[in-house]
Amino acid sequence: MSLLGSRLLLLFAIAPAAAVAQQYSILVYGDSLSAAYGMQPEQGWVALLEERLASRADHFKVINASVSGETTDGGLRRLPETLERVKPDLVILELGGNDGLRGFPLSVIRDNLRAMVHAAKEAGAEVLLVGMRIPPNYGTRYAEGFHQLYQEVADQEKVALVPFFLEQVALDPELIQNDQIHPTAAAQPLMLETLWPHLAPLLGQKLPAN
């Protein structure tokens, strides 16, 4: 075989490995809001995100490890194995809502979120923390403290924050399912639009300008 032929074979052998190395993995780690509760999986905001990224580039991979009913305690227990298995470049952390609705101590929620953010960063991933609110009938002090703890965690761990994931949805009864808790399929694009301005800067040059 000629020297030129040998070099061409070497280039073809290297190309697949290089393509794999350029893949960018996004782990969505949340509860029912990210698990497409009450609808088909393809209607959920995570599937819509995957479609948006696929339309712009072919090197993004979205892994949805969300579990309906998950708490920060359960998420913290599951996270090490999930990080080891997925090896994400970015973690979208959407947990805490179930803790708040069950009245868990704010200090516990805060510590669990910080521990998960820290674990993701230690695994080499960037983090986008997704903030939530709970109804005021839990008491103004608790409800405001719950919302504020997301900002506190983001500041302490120096990660990006979506202040309130359901900002465009929560006050519109037509966008909430009959259980008065979960967003409808029609709300999912709005949830993605709320998250997108905080996610896009983290993707940086990996996201084509178009």
Handedness of CA 172, 160, 145, 73 (dihedral sign): positive
Res. 209 pLDDT band, cuts 50 70 90: low
Could you say which of 32, 34, 89, 99 is catalytic?
32
Q: Output the six-digit token pair for 70.
A: 């998950």
Could you say which of 59, 118, 182, 198 is catalytic?
182
pLDDT tens per residue across span 65-107: 999 999 999 999 999 999 999 999 999 999 999 999 999 999 9
Q: Which domain holds residue 45?
A: 18-202
In a domain, 11, yes or no: no
What pLDDT sits at residue 85?
97
Structural domain total, the chain: 1
Handedness of CA 45, 49, 54, 58 (dihedral sign): negative
Average pLDDT over residues 179-204: 96
Res. 208 pLDDT band, cuts 50 70 90: confident
In a domain, 12, yes or no: no
Indicate if the pLDDT at residue 24 is higher than 80.
yes
The three-state secondary structure class of 129 is strand
Is 89 an active-site residue?
Answer: no
What pLDDT sits at residue 21?
42
In a domain, 34, yes or no: yes
The three-state secondary structure class of 164 is coil
The three-state secondary structure class of 159 is coil
Q: Which helix (H) or strand (E) holds 27?
A: strand 24-30
Amino acid at 178: N
Is 179 an active-site residue?
Answer: yes
pLDDT tens per residue across span 27-58: 999 999 999 999 999 999 999 999 999 998 98
Q: Compare 14 and 38 and report the one with higher pLDDT.
A: 38
In a domain, 9, yes or no: no
Q: What percent of the chain has pLDDT over 70?
A: 89
Average pLDDT over residues 105-112: 98
Q: What is the mean pLDDT of the chain?
A: 91
In a domain, 10, yes or no: no
Is 66 an active-site residue?
Answer: no
Res. 121 pLDDT band, cuts 50 70 90: very high
Domain harbouring 100, CATH code: 3.40.50.1110
What pLDDT sits at residue 14?
46
